[in-house]
Amino acid sequence: MWCTNKKGEVLRDIILAVPKGRILNELIPLLKKVDIEPEQEFFNDKSRKLMFGTNKKNLSIIKVRAFDVATFVALGAAQIGIAGDDVLNEFDYDEIHNVLDLGIGKCRLSVAKKINVNKDNLQSNGHIMVATKYKNTVINFFANRGVRAECIKLNGAIELAPRLGICSTIVDLVSTGRTLQENNLKESDVLLEITSKLIVNKISYKIMNSEISKIITKFSRIING
């Protein structure tokens, strides 16, 4: 699909993948600063629509789960996306190029354990049980410490796992640490300090360099002043 601008130049369609939730709330003011205005339904939390037009003829936005942004971009379904370091590290797609730190979505990916649990008991025989949705990241982190991590894959309410006796250790995103405290957990290690990045599909960047570069430049000017 393509359209033309006022000069008659061909503009190929670009899809920007953005994550739902907390990061999106920080991203919306940034989109406004770079003169990207989604259609009104984009701001309706009750809408089930997933793809939205913008004030740019050749730019659409898809709103997906944070974990799915990188996959859409890696497969070329979306040419550009916004994804956190946690997602990029977990999937480590070769097809993605990280072009700009947007400085939003700041948090950390941390190990947390039940308070008053003996660390030696958790790692007897070089083995540990961890509840997380970051299986690859966790396995690599503990492997570098000589510990074999067995991951219990959970996509939400991870803090409940130790409370209900499934395991004593979790790895999850932490902002203030309040949720950990409320569930009798204590942060013990930080795997990653996280911000959200502007990412592009490498092949799309080569084919549509002019169109994509214009968008990157706008974001860069706002971020870097």
- Domain map of the chain by residue range? 2-105+196-224, 107-194
Q: Which residue has the tokens 């941390």?
A: 110
114-117 long-range contacts, Cβ below 8 Å, gap at least 24? Answer: 114/162, 114/168, 114/169, 114/184, 114/185, 114/186, 115/184, 115/185, 115/186, 117/168
Residue 8 has pLDDT above 70, yes or no: no
Q: What is the pLDDT of residue 225?
A: 79
CA 64/CA 73 separation, integer angstroms: 12
Assess if CATH 3.40.190.10 describes domain 2-105+196-224.
yes
The fourth-level CATH superfamily of domain 107-194 is: Periplasmic binding protein-like II (3.40.190.10)
Q: What is the pLDDT of residue 11?
A: 53
112, 170 contact by CB (below 8 A) = yes
CA 215 → CA 31, 132, 181, distances in Å?
11, 35, 41
Lowest mean pLDDT among 9-13, 111-115, 142-146: 9-13
pLDDT band, residue 116 (cuts 50/70/90): confident
Lowest mean pLDDT among 8-22, 50-64, 85-99, 129-143: 8-22
What average pLDDT is seen over the chain? 91
Q: What is the pLDDT of residue 119?
A: 53
- For residues 132, 137, 142, 148, the Cα torsion angle rounded to the nearest 10 degrees is 70
- Which run of H or E residues covers position 206? helix 202-207
Q: What is the pLDDT of residue 124?
A: 56
Same fold? 2-105+196-224, 107-194: yes
Residue 108 has pLDDT above 60, yes or no: yes
Taking residues 194-222, what's their average pLDDT? 96
Residue 3 has pLDDT above 80, yes or no: no
Taking residues 59-67, what's their average pLDDT? 96
